Structure 1
Amino acid sequence: MSRIGKLPIAIPAGVTFTVTPDNVVTVKGSKGQLVKAMTKDINITVENDSVVVTRNNDEKKSRSLHGLTRALINNMVVGVTEGYSKTLELIGVGYRAQLQGKKLVMNLGFSHPVEIEAVEGVTFETPAATKVVIKGIDKELVGNVAADIRSWRKPEPYKGKGIKYDNEVIRRKEGKTGKK
């Protein structure tokens, strides 16, 4: 039995949870609404202010999707109540970010500034010139936008220049040594 899949998901006050017969899950909360279609191999039921995820059979596909489905539903519930955020740090001389309306404009050492439009469901904040905070209710979308921004300048191992997550540790390499 899946250790994660068998855990019930508590539905907090103020959150409405509905499941259609074809396993389309809708979660509404104070921050917004999320809708996701789940696989038909998994049963999703609501019992006593909690969601229980069970599988129809013990086939390999059903077993692998059991914990995943439970985790996705839990992420939806957390997203509509608390939301998700990722913080990126810009490290390098002249690397900075600023907001222009809903657009994020970054100077990353290119001959032109990099402009990124905010996707629907995601907002940008710049608490400092070298920090960017990405916020939203969909964990997957927030992570994808953060990864797209990071891909403009991944941190390099010699000086550590680039865009990194706030909790990311960059393994540094030693530079070249002179001739002996």
Structure 2
Amino acid sequence: MSRIGRQPIAVPSGVSATIEAGLFKVKGPRGELTVPFNRDLSVTQEGDQILVTRPDDRQDHRSLHGLTRTLVANAVKGVSDGFTINLELRGVGYRAKLTGKNLEMTIGYSHPVIIEPPAGVTFVVPEPTKIDVSGIDKQLVGQVAANVRRVRKPDAYHGKGVRFLGQKIALKAGKAGATGAKGKK
């Protein structure tokens, strides 16, 4: 059995789930999500727990078992608590601000970069060098955060750019220059 797939999913108070053939719908205080799943698997709700089971030990059923359980658990967590990814800007003059719902970043280009959030994702800028990307869909929040980071990835030599909060960048050594070269006097 899949160790992840056989774990029950606790449904917090204020969250309601409906299960149809191949479709799991969950509604909570933050919103509503729908997760499609393979019809060979069965998703059942027993009291305040949701269980995902597979019919047999075929390879495709085993590989879908843990995946389906994780997707359902992420949907339940998303509508109850939500997901947030924190980004930070490193570099002289690098800063971010909100203009309406859009994120405007000054990150070393000749023009400010403006990113419009998709539906269900919000940007928060608590400090000029910090960006919080939040929403209820874990995959969408992660993709938007990756798109923001892709605008200016951290530089391997100086570490400047957009990075995840707490991310460590292994800096490369620069050129040694002419300080030890032979023939120089």
Which segments of 5 or more consecutive residues in structure 1 lack a partner in the other structure? none
2:183 is matched with none
Question: Structure 1 CA distance, aligned partners of 2:158 and 2:72?
Answer: 41
TM score, norm. by length of structure 2 = 0.94
Cα distance in 2 for residues equivalent to 1:8 and 1:36:
17
2:103 matched residue in structure 1: 104
Residue 3 (structure 2) aligns with: 3
User: What is the match of residue 17 of structure 2?
Assistant: 17
Alpha-carbon separation, structure 2, partners of 1:41 and 1:145 = 32
Task: Specify the alignment match of 2:72 in structure 1.
Answer: 73
Q: Which moved more, 1:29-38 or 1:140-149?
A: 29-38
Equivalent positions of 1:146-165 (< 5 A) are 146-165=145-164
Q: Indicate whether 1:139 and 2:138 are aligned.
A: yes
Secondary structure in 2 matching 1:105: strand
Paired residue type of 1:135: S
What SS does structure 2 have at the residue aligned with 1:142?
Answer: helix
Count of residues in correspondence between the two structures: 179
Q: Which amino acid aligns with 1:173?
A: K
Partner of 1:34: 33
Instruction: For 2:158, give the aligned amino acid.
Output: K
Matched, 1:82 2:81: yes
The higher radius of gyration belongs to 2
Deviation readout 1:32-90 (Å, 9 max, x if unpaired): 11112111121101112110100122111110110011011111111111110011101
Task: Tell me how far apart the structure 1 counterparts of residues 177 and 167 of structure 2 sit (CA, whole Å).
Answer: 31
Cα distance in 1 for partners of 2:125, 2:157 equals 27
Q: Does 1:58 align with 2:57?
A: yes
- Whichever residue aligns with residue 5 of structure 1, its letter is G
Which amino acid in 1 is paired with 2:8? P
The one-letter code sitting in structure 2 at the alignment partner of 1:12 is P
Q: Secondary structure at the match of 2:105?
A: strand
Query: How far is 1:172 from its partner?
Result: 1.4
- Show structure 1 runs of 4+ deviating over 2 A: none
Q: TM-score, normalised by structure 1?
A: 0.97
Percentage of matched positions with identical amino acids:
50
Give distance in 2, aligned partners of 1:99 and 1:48. Answer: 43
Aligned-partner residue type, residue 19 of structure 1: I
Please tell me the residue identity of whatever aligns with 2:57.
Answer: D
Gaps of 5+ in 2: 181-185
CA RMSD of aligned residues (A): 0.9
Task: State how far apart, in whole Å, the 1-side matches of 2:165 and 2:41 are.
Answer: 36
Partner of 1:170: 169
